[in-house]
Structure 1
Amino acid sequence: SLINHERHYTKARYTLDDYVEFSNSIGQIKRILPDKGVLDDALLMVTTNHSHVLRLR
């Protein structure tokens, strides 16, 4: 995902698309873990080096 890069260049549409793609990826992981039988043993950690907030104006 290029969320940080898109925000620096004020490409709002691309930033929003990246947020949606990121959210969908997390959702897919959350669906796969139970199917594999490893949900109880899994730790899903998402980190960032920035604390940007998506603001729609």
Structure 2
Amino acid sequence: MSELEPVFRDIKNYRGLKRYLLRSLPKVRLEVGWLSLAHNLLKNVAIDAKNKGAKHRQVA
């Protein structure tokens, strides 16, 4: 059994995407774009929080 690409696995398992909500290819592309944007924003927030915590530990 092969492993899914981590981004698609996260969107499917952790964001609850089991089916697309919209129909037609342009609408599905838009939906995938929004999901990708949300995934990347959450990833950036997590990285920023981790870096902020590392800076806080260096100062203290």
TM range (shorter): 0.3 to 0.5
Structure number with greater Rg is 2
Structure number with higher helix proportion: 2
TM-score normalised by L of structure 2: 0.46
TM-score normalised by L of structure 1: 0.48
